[in-house]
């Protein structure tokens, strides 16, 4: 180790010769080779790097490009070592050799121990600064996450409310319909209906089949009026209840004439009411079944979205994640938004962190919907390309300006107002895709269309 070169650095002016020797002995001399990376962006910052000779470029990924954001070219400049005071500290950029030379590399735990021993007050201050900064960042992120959760919960409540309300209305109507059904049977018995008559009207009831094409509102109203007139001509009371049920089931006057031949006199009215009540009960039960099925599908989609009771790294069907995301954001896809799905037929499952990918899909779909402002086409496409699965999410909004596209993946960059969006920036989405899954994400923007293209390897190439 070249101790005179270290002693010449102003960075070590406060150390005694013995302390400098001790620090150098705990570290290592690392040669700089132009073009060769020394440490990587996003990796644990478990070493402290001090430049002694040469130069190191600090490189960051910004969108689809790699940019030099700084250069260590003055002896005594340093990088990393954050884990001396922050157990979650990572390198903020990649250190890549620029000019031949060397650095002193000291393990972060050694830096922490020596700082605490030599400058205890300063060590406490540095640790406090790191702790405060992380606490503020964590609180801000939690707040953003809570806002996102609130937005998604409100959307889910909106989606569940419609089928739940429909089921509640149908259940209430079922009570009235079953009451009418029982009452009609009692009136049939009191009217002296015979077994043959009841069998005949039951056979007629079984002939009723819903029309192939539903009538429009005006045509249905005319049909109900015609049946009401028929019922009035045959002295059938409660026509206000019987006619709508018969009309909705496709019953015509010819069927009613046949029913009148079977049920004459006092049994006609309760017989037709019995038929109408059975049709109403069947329709209401179908509505309850459809509504509760929809609620179950929403719950299943939420479970899929949240990845409850599943391992972190798993084999994932990206189509399933995209569909559950569309359900979660269904409240934002109004009548003016057309959703076009182009799912590849032979797209394999991928090895991925499903919950994190769902966060990425949420962010990209939410951005696309915001860009279209209630009117346009949301296209979601999946396909297989070699060892990767590609997901494209595009919108027909105004497009993304070149300067915005160039900065879209920068940390904390946003074009949205406070409180808008999901709280998950494209920088975080990029980290999930690139750092966690070894994939790639890029923007293809042009006037009238913006495409976010995500590429995920079928087999994971990145660690957690």
Question: What domains, with CATH codes, occur in the chain?
Answer: 3-118 (2.60.120.10), 157-297 (no CATH), 311-457 (3.30.565.10)
Query: Half-sphere exposure of 351 toward its Cβ, with a 13 Å CA cutoff?
Result: 10
Pairwise pLDDT comparison (170 vs 379), residue with the higher score: 379
Which residues are CB-contacts of 356 (< 8 A; sequence separation ≥ 6)?
A: 432, 436
380 CB burial (10 A radius; 0-12, 13-18, 19+): buried
**How much is the average pLDDT of 149-157?**
66
- Confirm if 101 and 61 have CB atoms less than 8 A apart: no
Residue 422 is predicted with a pLDDT of 39
- Confirm if 105 and 28 have CB atoms less than 8 A apart: yes
For residues 228 and 208, give the distance between their C-alpha atoms in angstroms, rounded to a whole number. 18
The yes-or-no verdict on residue 184 having pLDDT over 60 is: yes
- Confirm if 409 and 63 have CB atoms less than 8 A apart: yes
- Confirm if 448 and 389 have CB atoms less than 8 A apart: no
Reported as a pLDDT band with limits 50, 70 and 90, residue 121 is confident
**How much is the average pLDDT of 245-261?**
91
Q: What is the pLDDT of residues 323-342, one digit of tens each?
A: 888 887 887 888 899 999 99
Query: Residue 86's closest CA among 139, 24, 132, 140?
Result: 132
Reported as a pLDDT band with limits 50, 70 and 90, residue 29 is very high
Pairing of strands 350-353, 94-107: unpaired
Residue 29: beta bridge partners?
A: 104
Q: What is the pLDDT of residues 344-387, one digit of tens each?
A: 988 999 988 887 888 889 889 988 998 898 899 999 999 999 99
- Confirm if 444 and 451 have CB atoms less than 8 A apart: yes
- Confirm if 433 and 64 have CB atoms less than 8 A apart: no
């Amino acid at each position: 180790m070249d101790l005179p070169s270290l002693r010449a650095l102003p960075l070590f002016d406060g150390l005694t010769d013995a302390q400098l020797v001790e620090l150098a002995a705990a570290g290592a001399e690392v040669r700089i080779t132009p073009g060769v990376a020394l440490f990587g962006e996003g990796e644990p910052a478990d070493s402290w790097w001090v430049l002694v000779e040469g130069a190191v470029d600090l490189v960051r990924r910004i969108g689809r490009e790699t940019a030099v954001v700084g250069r260590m070219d003055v002896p005594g400049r340093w990088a990393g070592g954050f884990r001396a005071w922050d157990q979650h500290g990572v390198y903020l950029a990649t250190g890549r050799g620029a000019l031949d030379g060397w650095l002193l590399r000291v393990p972060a735990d050694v830096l922490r121990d020596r700082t605490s021993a030599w400058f205890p007050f300063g060590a406490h201050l540095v640790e406090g600064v790191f702790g405060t900064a992380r606490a503020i960042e964590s609180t801000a992120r939690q707040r953003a996450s809570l806002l996102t959760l609130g937005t998604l919960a409100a959307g889910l409540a909106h989606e569940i409310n419609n089928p739940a309300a429909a089921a509640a209305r149908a259940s209430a109507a079922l009570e009235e319909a079953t009451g009418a059904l029982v009452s009609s049977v009692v009136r049939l018995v009191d009217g002296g209906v015979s077994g043959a008559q009841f069998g005949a009207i039951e056979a007629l009831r079984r002939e009723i089949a819903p029309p192939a094409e539903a009538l429009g509102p005006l045509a249905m109203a005319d049909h109900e009026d015609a049946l009401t007139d028929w019922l009035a001509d045959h002295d059938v009371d409660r026509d206000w209840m019987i006619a709508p049920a018969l009309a909705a089931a496709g019953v015509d006057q010819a069927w009613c004439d046949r029913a009148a031949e079977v049920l004459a006199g006092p049994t006609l009215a309760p017989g037709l009411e019995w038929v109408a009540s059975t049709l109403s009960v069947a329709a209401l039960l179908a509505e309850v079944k459809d509504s509760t099925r929809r609620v179950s599908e929403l719950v299943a989609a939420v479970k899929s979205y949240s990845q409850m009771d599943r391992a972190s790294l798993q084999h994932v069907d990206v189509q399933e994640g995209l569909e559950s995301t569309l359900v979660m954001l269904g409240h934002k896809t109004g009548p003016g938004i057309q959703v076009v799905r182009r799912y590849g037929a032979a797209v394999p499952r991928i090895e991925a962190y499903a919950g994190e990918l769902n966060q990425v899909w949420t962010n990209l779909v939410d951005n696309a919907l915001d860009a279209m402002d209630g009117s346009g086409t949301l296209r979601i496409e999946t396909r297989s390309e070699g060892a990767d699965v590609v997901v494209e999410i595009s919108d027909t909004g105004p497009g993304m300006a070149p300067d915005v596209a160039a900065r879209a993946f920068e940390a904390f960059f946003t074009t949205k107002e406070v409180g808008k969006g999901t709280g998950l920036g494209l920088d975080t989405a990029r980290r999930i895709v690139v750092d966690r899954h070894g994939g790639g994400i890029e923007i293809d923007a042009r006037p009238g269309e913006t495409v976010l293209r995500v590429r995920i390897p079928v087999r994971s190439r990145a660690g957690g």
